[in-house]
A and B are shown apart, each in its own frame.
Chain A
Amino acid sequence: MCAKAADLRCRCATLGVSAEAAALLLAFAMRESEAPAVELGSALQRLDRGLQPAAPGAAREALTRDLAACVRALQFHDRLMQQLAVIRNLLTRLADHPLPQMAGFGAQRWEELLAALRERLAAESHDELFELLVRSGGVGLPGSAREAQAEGSGELF
């Protein structure tokens, strides 16, 4: 019985350390990717400024279209960062409270933990991302399609 309890404590502690390490790695990766994205944005600004005095015509229009495409594409970096930040925060909370939440590893406990984590997710997109992460074959959820439809939309009140 004592050996079992010690083993459980050990597994809980390992999970806590793993969660903390994962959170740190995420934070590091996010910081690392920020500078190149900013550099890319700056390069686009310089390109746009450089294009201003250029002669108008088909080439100018094509470059303007390409710039617009770059602006749209680069925004996915911001979205990725937001979603990673949510995961990092979840992992940090797990690492902060590993023992009370992780006591017991049965299927029921796991479901309870998932439910508790899901409650902490405010945004719909984060909820879907979480679903994708914890369940294989979660791609193509109805909410994902709904969100994809909403992307780029605008509404004036």
Chain B
Amino acid sequence: MARILAVDDSPSMRQLVKLALSSGGHEVDVATDGVEALLFAEKQQFDVVITDVNMPNMDGISLVRELRRRSNYRFVPLLMLTTEATAERKQQGKEAGATGWLVKPFDPDRLLSIVTKVLT
């Protein structure tokens, strides 16, 4: 079981990600944007962070960049979960330090298998 932080400004998406990952036995915390996610990440250590890209206050790519600056998140899997699928945006995510890029809508089983894969 892993401790996962799911970051999305959409309440329904936060619920769905939490539902999908909780059913796999993971403990899931949720944050509404990059700023809140950073606060949570400073208070506790997460094993995986899954974040949307377009969010108010701080977007997902900036969040990944900020997390990678912290020594305790240098090697933690950081996954982007977004509707955006352009090569340019993916490259931006990769350069920021993201571990992977998942395009919405996600399949719950597939999300779980990806999380399992990045954890091993």
Is B20 close to A, CB under 8 A?
Answer: yes
In the bound complex, residues from chain A placing their C-beta under 8 Å from that of B99 are 156-157
Whether A41 contacts B15 by the Cβ 8 Å rule is yes
Whether A68 contacts B16 by the Cβ 8 Å rule is no
In the bound complex, residues from chain B placing their C-beta under 8 Å from that of A79 are 83, 104-105
Whether B101 contacts A74 by the Cβ 8 Å rule is no
Question: Which partner residue on chain B sits nearest A41 by CB separation?
Answer: B15
Report A50-90 residues with CB < 8 Å from chain B CB.
64, 67-68, 71-72, 74-79, 81-82
Contact indicator per residue, chain B 81-119, by CB within 8 Å of chain A (1) or not (0): 001111000100110001111111111111000100110
What's the nearest-Cβ distance from chain A to residue B32, in Å?
13
Number of A residues near B (Cβ < 8 Å) is: 34
A154-B114 contact, Cβ under 8 Å, with A42-B15, A44-B19, A125-B83:
yes
Whether A72 contacts B107 by the Cβ 8 Å rule is yes
Q: Complex: how many Å from CA A74 to CA B19?
A: 12
In the bound complex, residues from chain A placing their C-beta under 8 Å from that of B101 are 154-155, 157
Question: Which partner residue on chain A sits nearest B54 by CB separation?
Answer: A82
Chain B interface residue number, banded: 35 or more
Question: Which partner residue on chain A sits nearest B100 by CB separation?
Answer: A156
Contact indicator per residue, chain B 40-84, by CB within 8 Å of chain A (1) or not (0): 000000000000001000000000000000000000000000011
In the bound complex, residues from chain B placing their C-beta under 8 Å from that of A157 are 93-94, 98-101
Report B3-30 residues with CB < 8 Å from chain A CB.
10-13, 15-16, 18-20, 22-23
Whether A153 contacts B23 by the Cβ 8 Å rule is no
In the bound complex, residues from chain B placing their C-beta under 8 Å from that of A48 are 19, 22-23
Is A45 close to B, CB under 8 A?
Answer: yes
What's the nearest-Cβ distance from chain A to residue B65, in Å?
14
What's the nearest-Cβ distance from chain A to residue B105, in Å?
4
In the bound complex, residues from chain A placing their C-beta under 8 Å from that of B23 are 48, 64, 67
Q: Complex: how many Å from CA A40 to CA B106?
A: 17
Interface residues of B (CB under 8 A from A): 10-13, 15-16, 18-20, 22-23, 54, 83-86, 90, 93-94, 98-110, 114, 117-118
8 A-B contacts, Cβ less than 8 Å apart?
A37-B11, A38-B11, A38-B15, A44-B16, A45-B19, A78-B83, A79-B105, A156-B100
Counting from the closest, the 9 A-B pairs by CB-CB distance are A41-B15, A150-B85, A75-B105, A156-B100, A37-B12, A154-B102, A78-B10, A68-B108, A78-B13
